[in-house]
Structure 1
Amino acid sequence: MISPPTRKSPSPLAFTIIAVLIGVHVLAWQGTGFSPGALVEGWRGMVDFLDQSFPPDLSVLGESLEAAVITLYIGLLGTTFSIPFALILGILAARVTTPNAWTYQIARSILSVLRSIPDVVFALIFVTAVGLGPFAGVLALAFHNTGVMGKLWAEAMEETDPGPREALKVAGANGTQIAANAVLPAVLPQMVGLLLYRFDVNVRSSLVLGLVGAGGIGFLINQSIKLFRFDQMVTHIIVVVIVVVIVDQISAYVRRRLA
């Protein structure tokens, strides 16, 4: 007769982890003032907001479309201008292409700093330097995207097949030759896919940057909110949704073709 398998009782460590997670969530609940009751009680304000938002004011559609194009330009240039810096730092931040420990650590640190500063903070900094407008948004996205994309590209390089690298190393190739002839060709499709994904993200981010004065359709949304023209705000948001969906579909299609 086969005896039923015995169940293992949860270890004390599992109980401790669960208790800590519950405690952290309780603190987060209290610290954020999370209150479903307040949401329910505020239904009148939500109804008033929707009443003022619909129907959308289509008289601003032309202005909205023009600003949406500027938003696309911000996302495009912010992505493009970050490519050379992200590529150089990515190569230096990958162990397979940078055997020098100091160079590796410095490159990793630069990428960490650029990645840890939100693009909105970069936008606020550049708005004070170059003034309000799309140029500040382009600079903000370029700096932040360099950190993010450099990190993603470095990790992709480190996952390449070591065979071709070792063959070139035995043949006497230096680090630059190994990167150019073994690492980059192997990882190029993945790098392009990550680049397209980041462009998709940057288009969305450029909308938020407009809220802090970096131009584009986000600036119009901010102005509509300040003027309590929620019907105009809804028109801008509809345009944003359409643009984001189109960019997302195109980006996904190109990534599938590269896969």
Structure 2
Amino acid sequence: MLVAAIVVGVVAVHVLAWRDTEFSPAALVQGWRGMADFLSEALPPDFTWDKVLRPSIEAALVTLYIGLLGTTFSIPFALVLAFLGSRATTSNTAIYQAARSILSFLRSVPDVVFALIFVTAVGLGPFAGVLALVFHNTGVMGKLWAEAMEETDLGPRDALRINGASGVQVAANAVLPTVLPQFVGLLLYRFDVNVRSSLVLGLVGAGGIGFLINQSIKLFRFDQMVTHILVVLVLVVAVDQLSAVIRRRIGA
């Protein structure tokens, strides 16, 4: 009976989602003409060096830099909140709950929303994107690091506490050495994600190649848009491969 109730509930939720999102495969099939017109205007891509390809590569580097700085500058904040928000390193319930609340808030606000806020504060450009990623990534990475620390072996921690070690000493000598490889792996994963996110931030005025993609769409230059997307593809693949190589070396 319980399984049947769960199945019925899941099906009912999907029916409601289908209706409220106006999901319609028939509408997609009927729109084939618009899709055909789009493809005819988008292909072949425009690889003009001075006007399209070179600005696209330069903007892609800015996107990479946004993701890099957004990840790097969030490390100290995420690390402090992770230590305060982990049962492995914090015994004070009030501090633990406060740190967890901050992490939950930063994680729950999308980076695009942070970007819109900082665009109004510091103006259009990559700086707003970096700030947005710092805030959002602090919440995500702090939560991941806190969970990793809570999964460490209790033995070394308890041994140090019994011998009078402080919380900082326990964290530095028992917890951090154990989770350091996992910390680095999670950091590389977040860097990969942040590079992709910085592309979306460009669509709301935070600079980078996302801004060029948005501009191409507004000007109906879909051939230039495809060029920018191809450059993004190369960037994402390169970052992914680099991260994979580093993770394999850490694992070895």
1:48 paired with 2:32, answer: no
**Counterpart in 1 of 2:18?**
29
Distance 2:29 2:88 in 1: 55
Aligned to 2:164, the other structure's residue is in SS state coil
Residue 73 of structure 2: which of 72, 81, 99 is its match?
A: 81
Paired with 2:110 and 2:212, the residues of 1 have a C-alpha distance of 22
Q: CA deviation at 1:209?
A: 0.1
Confirm or deny that 1:252 pairs with 2:241: no
Output the TM-score relative to the length of structure 2.
0.98
Indicate the residue corresponding to 2:55 in structure 1.
63
| SS of the residue 2:60 aligns to | helix
Q: 1:106-125 residue pairs with structure 2 within 5 A?
A: 106-125=98-117
| 1:126 maps to 2:115 | no
Structure 2 distance, partners of 1:160, 1:257, is 22
Aligned to 1:175: 167
Gaps of 5+ in 2: none
Q: 1:166 is matched with which residue: 158, 161, 167?
A: 158
Structure 1 residue aligned with 2:210, among 200, 215, 218?
Answer: 218
Partners of 1:68 and 1:204 in 2: CA distance: 11
Give the Å deviation of 1:75: 0.1
Q: Deviations over 1:94-119 (max 9, x none)?
A: 00100000000000000000000000
Distance 1:137 1:147 in 2: 16
Match of 1:148 in 2: 140
What is the CA deviation profile of residues 12-48 of structure 1, one whole-angstrom value per residue up to 9, with x for unaligned ones? 1111000000000000000000000000000010000
Counterpart in the other structure of 2:85: 93
2:195 counterpart of 1:203: yes
Q: 1:84 Cα deviation (Å)? A: 0.1
Among candidates 191, 208, 211, match of residue 183 of structure 2:
191
Q: Distance in 1 between matches of 2:242 and 2:106?
A: 28
SS in 2 for 1:97: coil
Per the alignment, residue 235 of structure 1 pairs with 227
Secondary structure of the 1:30 match is: helix
Q: CA deviation at 1:66?
A: 0.2
What amino acid does structure 2 have at the position aligned with 1:48?
Answer: D
What is the match of residue 9 of structure 2?
Answer: 20
Bigger Rg, structure 1 or 2: 1
Residues of 2 paired with 1:257 and 1:14: CA distance? 45
Aligned pairs, number: 248
1:137 shift after superposition: 0.1
Aligned to 1:38: 27
Could you tell me which runs of 5 or more consecutive residues in structure 1 were left unpaired when the two chains were aligned.
Answer: 1-11
Give 1:162 deviation, angstroms. 1.0
Percent of matched pairs sharing the same residue: 75
Distance 1:31 1:219 in 2: 31
CA–CA distance in structure 2, aligned partners of residues 257 and 182 of structure 1: 23
Query: TM-score by structure 1 length?
Result: 0.95
